[in-house]
Amino acid sequence: MRRGFRFWGLVPAWVLMLGTLLIPLMIVAIVSVAQRGAYGGFEWAFTLEPYRQILFSVGWTDELEFDPKYLFVIGRTLVLAGATTLICMMLALPVAYVIATRTPRMKTVLIYLVTLPFWVSMIVRVYAWLIILGNDGFVGRIWHALGGQGTLLFTPGAMLVGMVYSYIPLMVLPVFAAIEKLDPALLEAGGDLYASRWTTARRVILPLTWPGLAAGSILVFVPALGTVLEPMLLGGGKQMMMGTLIQTQFGSARNWPFGAAIALVLMVMVVIVLVLNARRAMRKEARS
Amino acid sequence: MRRGEAVEVFNVSKMFGTYQALDQVSFTIKENEFFTLLGPSGCGKTTLLRMIAGFERPSEGSISLFGAEIASLPPHKRHVNTVFQSYALFPHMSLEQNIAFGLENLGWAKAKRQARVAEMLELVHMSDFAKRRPDQLSGGQRQRIALARALAPEPQVLLLDEPLSALDLKLRQAMRDELRALQRKTGITFVFVTHDQDEALDMSDRICVLGQGQIQQIGTPSDIYEEPQNRFVADFIGATNFLEAEVVSLNGDQAQIRTALGLEFTAAQKGVQGPGAATMSLRPEKIGLEEQASGNVFTGTIRSRNYMGGFTHYAVETAGITLQVSRRNALSHAESYDIGREVKLGFRDESVRVLGQ
Ligand SMILES: Nc1ncnc2c1ncn2[C@@H]1O[C@H](COP(=O)(O)OP(=O)(O)O)[C@@H](O)[C@H]1O
Ligand SMILES: [Mg+2]
């Protein structure tokens, strides 16, 4: 009876995993080693051509030339996602600290405000930045008033602003949870033992909120790797990222196998991040 | 030799919103003193301690440390250290690192720091545990490390907020002696907060009794116990019998008293302004039964008996009043009195305290 339940009870979960994760993943994997179709799609023939394409381009005389074009895309994606994560960390720490030290009522209100952006469509919110950063926008005007040249839009900076904005709630929430768990007496003990506020932050708050920062980093970094909207709207599509590259391949470029190959590379990167994080957590577990 | 004033609290009041936690509190703590703030929970002890440490600011008044005004300094600029009630050891640091933390912030050189950490671990008998982390310790051990960490930077004053309350009974007694010995050995001024009168009487040089945000009395343990100045102190410290009485006349610090028992006698008094109604306090152990009854003697009836080991507590009814009497069970077998028995009971004039009117 129990044994039966243990098996049959898990069936819905297995169906869900199979249907939404494993089967689509298999399809992507298969497409990534298939032949490119003439008008999009793919043809059933095995080839490693899509993977070759990531590193080499074909010269005039059919010889392969090393071409770092797509490596740059991968690098740029990593840098942008990494920068987004770091900036989110630096902003989330003080924000979460301030929230965690308010009265219970105020805390509820502030946390609600942090999650509020999720109630509005992501596209609308990114468009809002398009306006804010634009030449007639609030920030754009200040930029010009301060003697800035050209437009703020369609630059890596604009993408970064948009990404930090989009993902920061995912950092604030776990960091807030970690700070809230801190015994306030520990912070007082820091001051009592002659640590300035800054030293207390560095030597007491930071190490003890590290688990929250790690969780927040995963939550920010992983989706930031695959981001599409910000590079498209705020980056003006000028700066190709992995997310936009994949989208173009399945869309206008009509090279499904290449898109699938890039998607798999992206996925491997995500898995590496998750495995590293899990190992770090396990080491920590083992130590205590 | 006149000892310096380690801490001076002058006219300090503290408001939390509209709630007055402390009302015009003033006292001075002498150098090398074991000074205890005693009072029921919620009377403002922690608030007072936190103001000396710098975690709270007084709404009014001033606090000085060895003559220097500190009320507006942040905690890290005051040379005082705190032993927190929850210990507040840093969980991510080893015990060594915990103890060294304050020294590092003060900029002590490495060699000096290491020597001091070793010395402190030695002092609290924890040398073998230097590399452990706080979560690998028992409550008593954590307590010791919290002490070592707070003593390491050689504070001018050490603040302790109910440091023993989280320990079990047996450990608490041992830690009392240890704390007291530590204070003598280091010569550091201790400000100790507790709601436990036994602790306060046992350990302190002087006790400041706080009640309802105000100072009720300051004095040595025996002052506080033997000569309570008001009903609050007499009630809070030890057990006592309150008797309504009438002051017939005053002569110096002697009062002619008439009690509801119909007795007249003279007693030392404090805080009595003139003739009129007054309350007197008579400790249960100051009343003798049968062969121990002397002074003002009358008869009563045993109403209840509680055997406590070293003592037996009786409730004795006389002239419509029930008196609590505590009788020591002496070396030789002490007679035990059954409920309902008529006994002689008596007390001496000097055992009675007349409290403020
Ligand atoms: N931060 C605060 N905000 C509001 N009220 C407080 C605060 N801290 C203490 N109090 C109140 O002040 C009174 C004294 O508190 P406390 O000093 O902690 O008492 P004790 O340590 O003697 O038990 C209590 O009634 C408490 O509720
Ligand atoms: Mg308290």
Give helix B95-105 / helix B139-151 axis angle, nearest 10°: 20
Task: Say if residue B243 is in the same domain as residue B168.
Answer: no
The pLDDT value given to residue B270:
63
- Write down the pTM of the prediction: 0.80
Gyration radius of chain A's alpha carbons: 23
Beta bridge partners of B327: B312
Farthest CA pair distance, chain B: 75
Overall domain count for chain B = 2
Banded model confidence at residue A204, pLDDT cuts 50, 70, 90: very high
Q: Is the CB of B45 under 6 A from ligand 1?
A: yes
pLDDT digit string (tens) for A87-143?
999 999 999 999 998 999 999 999 999 998 888 888 898 888 989 988 888 888 888
Angle made by CA atoms A60, A66, A71, in degrees to the nearest 5: 125
Domain boundary among B214, B231, B248: B231
Closest by CA to B83, choosing from A187, A192, A181, A203, is: A192
Element (H, E) at B322: strand B321-328
Task: Say if residue B129 is in the same domain as residue B250.
Answer: no
Residues of B in CB contact (< 8 Å) with A are 53-55, 74-76, 80-82, 84-86, 88-92, 101-102, 105-106, 133, 135, 149-150, 153
The pLDDT value given to residue B334:
64
Looking at this protein, which amino acid is placed at residue B248?
V
The pLDDT value given to residue A28:
92
d(CA A156, CA A236): 10
Task: Say if residue B247 is in the same domain as residue B324.
Answer: yes
Protein residue with least CA distance to atom 25, ligand 1: B42
Q: Which residues of B touch A203 (CB under 8 A)?
A: 101
The verdict on a CB contact (< 8 Å) between A194 and B153 is yes
Candidate from B14, B15, B19 with most ligand 1 atoms within 8 A of CB, to mutate:
B19
Task: Say if residue B210 is in the same domain as residue B273.
Answer: no
- CA distances A50 to A47, A244, A256, B140, Å, are 8, 17, 9, 66
Q: What CATH number did the domain enclosing B31 receive?
A: 3.40.50.300
Picking from A185, A199, A207, the nearest residue to B105 by CB comes out as A199
Q: Which residues of B touch A204 (CB under 8 A)?
A: 90
Task: Say if residue B22 is in the same domain as residue B141.
Answer: yes
Where do the domains of chain A lie? 69-241
The pLDDT value given to residue A1:
54
Domain boundary among B180, B206, B231: B231
Domain hosting residue B274, numbered range: 239-355
Q: In what order do the strands lie in the sheet with B68-69?
A: B19-30, B5-16, B60-65, B68-69
d(CA A44, CA A219): 37
Q: Is the CB of B21 under 6 A from ligand 1?
A: yes
What is the token pair recorded at B94? Answer: 């080893």
Ligand approaching nearest to the C-alpha of B47: 1
The verdict on a CB contact (< 8 Å) between B101 and A199 is no
Task: Say if residue B183 is in the same domain as residue B270.
Answer: no
Q: Pick the residue with more confidence: B35 or A65? A: B35
The pLDDT value given to residue A5:
75
Protein residue with least CA distance to atom 21, ligand 1: B46
pLDDT digit string (tens) for A243-256?
999 998 988 888 89
The verdict on a CB contact (< 8 Å) between A288 and B135 is yes
The verdict on a CB contact (< 8 Å) between B92 and A207 is yes
The pLDDT value given to residue B72:
83
Q: Is the CB of B16 under 6 A from ligand 1?
A: yes
Q: Work out the minimum CA distance from A103 to partner chain B, whole angstroms.
A: 14
What is the overall mean pLDDT for chain A? Answer: 89
* Residue A67 three-state SS: coil
Residues 6+ apart with CB under 8 A from A191: A197, A200, B54, B55, B74, B75, B76
Q: How many CB atoms lie within 10 A of CB B29?
A: 24
Domain boundary among B231, B247, B282: B231
Task: Say if residue B10 is in the same domain as residue B129.
Answer: yes
Q: Is the CB of B124 under 6 A from ligand 1?
A: no
Q: What CATH number did the domain enclosing B274 receive?
A: 2.40.50.140
The pLDDT value given to residue B1:
35
Q: How many CA atoms does the CB half-sphere of B112 hold within 13 Å?
A: 10
With CA atoms as reference, the chain A residue closest to B55 would be A188
Banded model confidence at residue A153, pLDDT cuts 50, 70, 90: confident
Q: Pick the residue with more confidence: A217 or A147? A: A217
C-alpha B234 chain-centroid distance: 13
Domain A69-241 CATH class label: mainly alpha
The pLDDT value given to residue B2:
43
**Residue B338 DSSP label:** P
Query: Which parts of chain B sit beneath pLDDT 50?
Result: 1-2
The pLDDT value given to residue B356:
66
Q: Pick the residue with more confidence: B165 or A188? A: A188
Task: Say if residue B256 is in the same domain as residue B289.
Answer: yes
